[in-house]
Structure 1
Amino acid sequence: MPPHLIPLQLMPQQAHAAPGDDWTGISDPKARKKMQDRIHQRISRQRKKVQAGLSSHSAGSGHYVPTSSTATTIRELPRGCLGEHGITICPSSDNAVLALGRTVPLDLSAFTACEPDSERTEWFILQFSTRALQDIVHGSPRADMLLNLIQFNATRALVMNARVMGITREFMVPDARSQIAYQNFDGAVLSSVPLSLKPTCLQLTVSHHPWIDVLPWLEIRDNLLRRDENSYDKKELCRDLRGFQAVAGGWGGMIVWGDPWDPLGWEVTEAFASKWPWVVQNCQKLLESTRYWRAVRGEGQ
């Protein structure tokens, strides 16, 4: 890949992977590179289909309906447009309507994981995803696109984890208590969740808000449960984690590169780790994944 381009990737990375192409869990760099090259070639073919479809679109219709291939297309953009980080977006469903020209401001700060099963949450995910895809396909990303996508992906990942855990909006209200701590949960649901989301002993015994249950790092969950929940600002922590931490010359928070429930698919920023050292303490998988993703970008450890 030319040095002046960076990949704009969908989340999760399996979106384009045919059987035998999914590199999740493959540690051999050569094997991973071979699989990724096949996917990049497939993406290139799909991108041409998107561009052909857009060029033939009727300006009078006002809408473009993505097909199964165009809804999951990746485009490479100049590094100057997006900064130093690769980013991910979640494509809309095949029947989603991509509005062209008519834009309504989307308030990312109002998009949270507190209503994982609501129509409003689903609407926001659909609208933001299709709008981001529109910008990418047209080659006209906004200057704040990178930060917005990082914030969107982190929040969406928590929404996805809440859904996997069977947590609905009624259990995410401010004064809610996790049903896990009261042994009042669907055993069938918990038996099928990814290993990273299975409750720890502390989750089963310490009363807490369910937002802790959707974090894919058992060490972080336990670190939070060992603290008096009144000793720190939970709202501030959640906002910072989702990328709304304002720091000089950039942002803080978490960056999602893979499946929401995969601890190795996340990266922690230096700003977040510096502000919340006790939260990430002893979280070895997060440290390993952060080093890995920085190495992928050619950055220091």
Structure 2
Amino acid sequence: MSLGQIPLELMPQQARAGPGHDWTGVSDRKARKKMQDRINQRLKRQRMIAARAQDCLSEQRQNINEPFIVGQSQSFIPDQQYTMSHSWSETSYTAVQSSSQSSMSMLRSFTACKPEGDETAQFISRFSAWAHREYLRGFPEADTLLSLIQFNTTRALVIIANSMGLTKESMTPDARSRLTIAGIDTAIVGSLPPSLQPTNLQLSVSHHPWVDIIPIAGIRDNILLRDEALYDKAELCRDLRGFQQVAHGHGGMKIWKDPWDPDGWEFSEAFAIKWPWVIRECHELLESTNRWRKMRDEAPLGSGFIFGELDT
């Protein structure tokens, strides 16, 4: 840079301003104030989401070794291999933190189809530690926050799958759920929490076991009532885990509590618009969604989202 040149840099408000929120050059005081208020509200919501997502990560880590008591004698106990571990190499840490694009790519390959694998356990350990470090650094970047939400959703399904005794062999593309097999061990079914107790359709309709790990009975039945030839199962699974590409970010499902607790799940508007039949008549899910939205000072979603009024 030669003498006399002044480097151009973004002003502080531009770094955090979204479309239509940059007040640089706006002389009208009321207009500037309105834009500033919008940015502050958005940042407040992001901080709340980040804090809750990190809490969810910590709670799941703590609860992994605690039994989910059903009645007096049976329990739902996730495998202890998913406990938090910091015994991984600096190379592994660098691989996860190198870039948001790399992190996103690794997250896409992280599914519940290999719940008991060493690779899955190692990734959970690495990503959990990385996310915690990012959170401790302060206000998280948008990509980091999104990745954490997607990670928590997939991790919740992994915990459930592992706890149900599912393996990569029983989750292959052509696999069929054991619940429809005559004479299935009733102890397995009896040990499940209420949200994962099989419905009549699960016991009678042949289906892939990934349906069984969704802790919302209404969604499970809606999927089983749909002809598998009419939708892309892999695409639905990706979108449900938060990888649905939409105009202003990503859609999908979010988890804020224990994996098997329906009150901890939330669906996005984008997911509901693309997959209206999946959440049709899931009243409790809508109530749960709106409770979490209210905590973030967001407007509630209307009943049209679960009554098929948004079908296109």
Deviation at 1:185, TM superposition (A): 3.3
CA RMSD of aligned residues (A): 2.5
| 1:148 corresponding residue in structure 2 | 147
Secondary structure in structure 2 of the residue aligned to 1:113: coil
Residues in 2 aligned to 1:166 and 1:143: alpha-carbon distance in whole angstroms: 35
Could you tell me how far 1:251 is from its partner in structure 2? 1.0
Deviations 1:137-176 (A, max 9, x none): 2337444101101111111111111122221211100000
Distance 1:16 1:120, change over 3 A: closer
User: Match for 1:96: what amino acid?
Assistant: H
Aligned to 1:52: none
The more displaced of 7-16 and 195-204 is: 7-16
Whichever residue aligns with residue 151 of structure 1, its letter is Q
Code of the residue aligned with 1:156 in structure 2: it is R
Instruction: Work out the CA distance in 2 between the residues paired with 1:136 and 1:238.
Output: 27
The counterpart of 2:95, out of the listed 101, 104, 112, is 104
Contact persistence 1:98–1:130 (CA under 8 A)? no
Alpha-carbon separation, structure 2, partners of 1:114 and 1:15: 19
Secondary structure (helix, strand or coil) at the match of 1:279 reads: coil
Residues 116 and 162 in structure 2, CA contact (< 8 A), matched pair in contact too: yes
Q: Which moved more, 1:181-190 or 1:92-101?
A: 92-101
1:289-300 paired onto structure 2 within 5 Å = 289-300=288-299
TM-score of the aligned structures, taking structure 1 as reference length: 0.70
Distance 1:13 1:300, change over 3 A: farther
Task: Report % sequence identity.
Answer: 51
Q: C-alpha separation between the residues in 2 aligned to 1:152 and 1:12?
A: 9
Give TM-score, length-normalised by structure 2.
Answer: 0.67
Q: 1:10 aligns with which of 55, 60, 64?
A: 55
Amino acid at match of 2:181: Y
After TM superposition, list the pairs within 5 Å mapping 1:190-269 onto structure 2.
190-269=189-268
> Structure 1: which amino acid aligns with 2:117?
S
On the 8 A contact 1:99/1:131 being kept in 2, the answer is no
SS of 1:246 mapped into structure 2: strand
Paired residue total: 227
The structure-2 alpha-carbon separation of the partners of 1:238 and 1:16, relative to structure 1 and needing over 3 Å to count, comes to closer
Partner SS state of residue 10, structure 1 = helix
**1:226 Cα offset (Å):** 0.8
Counterparts in 2 of 1:14 and 1:154: CA distance versus 1, 3 Å = closer
Q: Structure 1, unaligned stretches of length 5 or more?
A: 18-91
Question: Alpha-carbon deviation of 1:93?
Answer: 4.1
Q: Which residue of 1 aligns with 2:273?
A: 274
Match in the other structure for 1:188: 187
| Distance verdict in 2 for CA 1:209–1:295, change over 3 Å | same
Aligned to 1:27: none
What is the distance in 2 between the residues matched to 1:237 and 1:16? Answer: 27
Q: Greater helix percent: which structure?
A: 2
Inter-partner Cα distance in structure 2 for 1:130 and 1:186: 37
Question: How many angstroms does 1:103 deviate by?
Answer: 0.4
CA contact (8 A) 2:84 2:128 kept: no
Post-superposition CA distance 1:52-108 (Å, at most 9, x none)? xxxxxxxxxxxxxxxxxxxxxxxxxxxxxxxxxxxxxxxx84652365685014411
Deviation at 1:15, TM superposition (A): 6.6
